[in-house]
Chains A and B, each alone.
Chain A
C-alpha cells in the first residue's frame, strides 16, 4: 500500500507515516459522521456471523439433521463456515494496523513451514518478502469480491436444498417422516423470520453504538518490530492460534537437508484433520448404520448417545484450543503461571475430549433410562393418599399419550453381528464396520414397545 502521512482528525497519530489502508480506516472512523458506527456494526456483525454459523452447525449435528437426504447440505454449510472464517480474517487484516499485521506475520510464518512449496507460496502471496506492499490490496479483492461471491453461491445452494428437502422437524405427536408440520411461509413465518432479522440487526447496532471494537488507533500502524502484550485474534481464529501455542518446545528437524517445522506442521495438520472429520461425519455415520432411509424427524440428542458424545468431545477439543489462544490473558487475570496454564491446557487437549465423551454418553444413557421409567411407571404426582389400611402412598400417574409418544418414538439402531459374506468370508472392512457399529450402538437403550407397556400397566394394577 502507498505510504502516507496521516493528517486526519485523530490527533495522537497526526504526522505518523502509515499505509493508505490504515489512514483511510482512520478517516472512516474519525472524519465521517457515522463512520465509526458502521465500522463497529460491520465488525460486531462479523463476529456474530461466525458465532451464529457455529451454533447452527452444533444444532444440526446434535439433532442428526445432517442425515439422509441432507448430507450434501451439511458439506455445503461446512464450506460456508470456512468461507465465513476466511471472510473474517481477510477483513480483519485490511486496516493494516499493528494487530492485524502481526496476524499476517503469523500466517506468513505458518505458510513458510509448508514442506517444499511453503517459501514460494508466501513469497507469491505477499508479492515478495514479508510484509511487502501487495498483501492488503490482494486481501481486499478477496474480501469484497471473490469470497463474498463464493458465500453467495453456497448460500443459494444451501437454501435451494432447504426448499427441495423442506425443513426437518422435531419429533412429536402428529409429526411423521412423511409430513412437515408448521406455519406456512406466508404470512406467519415471514413475519417472524423478518422480525428476527431486525432484532438481530438492532442488537448489533446497540452493541456497536456502545461498545468499542478493534480500536486500531490504539494499536497504531503496522511495524514489524513492536507488538502489544495480550495479542488476540478475532474469536473464530482463536482455535488455530491456540493450536500453535500448545505445541511443546523443540519440534523441528532437518531431514534430507531441508527444514521440517513440526511445531507448525503438527498444529496445521491437527486443525485440518479436525475440520475434515467434521466435514465427513455424516458420511461416516451413514456408512456405520448403512441406513439409506430419509430422516426428516430429528433426534433428541439423548437418543443418539455416541453421536452426542462425539459432538461433546469435539466441542471440548475446540474449546481447549480456543482457551489456548488466551493462555497469557488467563495467566495474568487469574495470577497463575503461564507455563502452568499452558501445561494444563496441553493435558486437557488430550484428556478433555475423552472425559467429555464418557460423561456425555453416560448422561445420555441415563436420560434414556429415565424416559423409559417415565413411560413404564408414570410420574410422581406429589399427591399423597392415605389408603384404608392407614398406609400413605404417593399417587403415580401415567403420561398422556402425547408426552408418551415424545418419549417412545425415536430412531433406534442395534450393533451389527459379524457374519460371513455370501462367499463365506469375513473381510477386514466388514470387521472394521462391525467394530464401528459396536462402538456406536453397543450400549443401547431400546424404546419402550407396546408389549412392555402393557406388561407394566398390568403389573402396576395388581
Chain B
C-alpha cells in the first residue's frame, strides 16, 4: 500500500504498480478513465497513391539535388581560388563553397525528413515500460551484500585500519597539487611581480607603439597620448606584452586649474597640467581606453567603469572600486617627460595580497636593472616620423570616439 501524506477523505492513496511513496501527490478516487489512443488518422499519402508517388519523386529529386550541391562545392573549390592579397577572392571562395555545401546538406535533411513523414510506414508503436526501481527483494539483497562485506572486512569494527585508509586517501592527491607549482617559473613570486612595473625614476614616457619620447611642449591642452615606458619596444616580444600589461599609461593635458588635488604631493606628480595615469582598469584589468575630452572622464569599454581625471581619476560610475593609479612625472633637462618613480601602488585589478607590503624581490630587481641596462645603452632613438597608422592611433581624441589606441 502506497502512503500519501494527506490522508483526507476525498483522497485515496492508490498503489502505483511500483509501490513507491506518493508524497504530497494527490491520487483522486474518481478520476477520468484514459480513453486510449485516438483512432489513427491516415495521411494524404496513404489515401491517395498519386500523392505518395509524388512525395517519393520529390524525395528522389532532393537526394539528387544534394549530389549536385556536393559536386558544385568541389567545382567552387576549384574555380574560386584564393589569390594572394585579395580579400574578395576569399569572400567568393567562402560564399560559393559554403552555399554549395549548404545546398547539399539541406537537401539531404529535407529528403530524409519527408521520407520519414510522408512515405515510410506510419505506425506508432506502444512499448511497455519496465520500472527503473528494483524489486523489494533486489533492494534488500543489495543492502545485505553491503552488510556482509562490512562484517567480513571489519570496516566498521576496525576503526584504526579505517582511519589509516581515509588518511592515506586524503593524502595521496596532495603531491599532484604540489606539482602544479611547476606551471609557472619557480623563482618568481607573483605577489612581488604584481606590485612593480617597469617604470622607475628618470625613465622617459614614450609613445605607443613607436617608442618615440614625448616632449612636454608637444602635449597640447585636451590631447591624449598612449604611453609606454622608454625601452619597452626593445624588449623581446614575449616580455614586451607582460611589461606592457602593467606599464601602459594614458597621458593627458588639462588646464592646471581644472585639476583638483587632495594634497600638494599629488599635485607635484603632474607637470603643468600634464597627468599620467595607469591605463589598466582597477576592476578586472581591461585598458581604460575611451577618453571623453569635454568632461575629462575616462571610460573602460569592458564594464563601463568611469574615472574622473580632474579628480585624481576617482571612480564616478561602474563596478571599479579604486581610482586609477597615477604615475608621478616631471620633465628632464631636454624637456622630455620622465617618470619620477614607479607607480606608488600596484596597478590593475585587485588581488588578495594587494594591501600587504613586500620587500622587493631580488630576482625582480635583477630584471629591472637589465631593462635599464638595455635602455641606457640604446640612448634616445633618433626621431622617426611616425607612420600614418600610429598618428591616427595616438592623435588626441575628441569626444567619445569609437576606438582609441
Binding site for B on A (CB under 8 A): 3, 9-11, 17, 29-34, 36-37, 40-41, 69, 102, 105-106, 108-110, 112-120, 122-134, 164-166, 173-184, 187-189, 191-192, 194-203, 205-206, 208-210, 222-231, 241, 244-252, 254, 257-259, 261-264, 288-294, 296, 327-328, 338-339, 342, 401-402, 404-405, 408-409, 411-417, 437, 441, 446-451, 453
Contacts and interface: CB of A to CB of B under 8 A. Distances in A.
24 contacts: A102-B286, A109-B283, A124-B184, A128-B188, A131-B242, A174-B126, A180-B126, A188-B122, A191-B116, A200-B109, A202-B103, A205-B101, A230-B301, A244-B283, A244-B319, A245-B318, A259-B351, A261-B349, A264-B349, A289-B25, A405-B32, A448-B32, A450-B30, A451-B30
Contacts of A263: 283, 319-321
A225 B25 contact: no
A221 to B, nearest CB: 10
A249 to B, nearest CB: 5
Contacts of B275: none
A106 B110 CA distance: 44
Contact of B241 (A223, A246, A291): A223
B105 A10 contact: no
A105 B280 CA distance: 10
A178 B11 contact: no
A69 B405 contact: no
A291 B23 contact: yes
A293 B16 contact: yes
Interface stretch (B46-54, B76-84, B141-149, B264-272): B76-84
Please provide the 9 A-B residue pairs with the shortest distance between their CB atoms, ordered closest to farther: A209-B98, A109-B284, A174-B37, A195-B112, A290-B23, A191-B116, A199-B109, A202-B105, A198-B109
B373 interface: no
A402 B283 contact: no
B244 A223 contact: yes
Contact of B304 (A32, A180, A199, A245): A245
A209 B116 contact: no
B17 to A, nearest CB: 7
B112 A206 contact: no
B124 to A, nearest CB: 6
Given A36-B90, A205-B102, A414-B11, A257 B241 contact: no
Interface in B62-91: 77, 80-82, 84-87, 90
Given A124-B184, A205-B98, A293 B242 contact: no
Contact of A127 (B183, B193, B244): B183
B287 interface: yes
Given A210-B98, A225-B226, A416-B5, A116 B352 contact: yes
Contacts of B190: 119-120, 122-123, 129
Interface string B8-52: 000100001110111111101011101111100000000000000
A346 B95 CA distance: 43
Contacts of B20: 292-294
B105 A404 contact: no
A447 B28 contact: yes
Contacts of A342: 304, 317-318
B386 to A, nearest CB: 16
A95 to B, nearest CB: 15
B294 interface: no
Interface string B353-366: 11110000000000
B245 to A, nearest CB: 4
Nearest to B16: A293
A246 to B, nearest CB: 8
A246 B319 CA distance: 7
B37 A291 contact: no
Given A187-B116, A441-B24, A450-B32, A178 B129 contact: yes
Contact of A258 (B5, B121, B353): B353
Contact of B191 (A109, A119, A182, A210): A119
B24 A225 contact: no
A224 B320 contact: no
Interface of B: 5-6, 11, 16-18, 20-26, 28, 30-32, 34-38, 77, 80-82, 84-87, 90, 93-95, 97-99, 101-117, 120-129, 131-133, 180-181, 183-185, 188, 190-191, 193-194, 208-209, 226, 228, 237-238, 241-242, 244-246, 248, 279-281, 283-287, 289-290, 301-305, 315-322, 348-356, 393, 401-405
A292 B113 CA distance: 39
Given A118-B351, A231-B302, A413-B26, A226 B289 contact: yes
B82 A31 contact: yes
Given A9-B84, A188-B116, 16 more contacts: A40-B94, A119-B352, A119-B353, A129-B193, A165-B132, A173-B36, A178-B128, A179-B128, A181-B126, A189-B116, A191-B120, A192-B116, A195-B108, A202-B106, A226-B226, A244-B303
A450 B26 contact: no
A166 B115 contact: no
A183 B125 contact: yes
B149 to A, nearest CB: 24
A211 to B, nearest CB: 10
Contact of B284 (A108, A202, A250): A108
A206 B106 contact: yes
B94 A203 contact: no
Contacts of B31: 408-409, 447, 449-450
A327 B100 CA distance: 39
Given A192-B117, A205-B98, A30 B82 contact: yes
A258 B2 CA distance: 57
B24 A108 contact: no
Given A109-B285, A128-B242, A222-B241, A293 B185 contact: no
B132 A227 contact: no
Given A224-B248, A225-B208, A128 B184 contact: yes
Contacts of A187: 116, 120
A142 B290 CA distance: 34
A395 B93 CA distance: 65
B405 A206 contact: no
Interface centre among A127, A182, A226, A408 (most CB of B within 10 A): A226
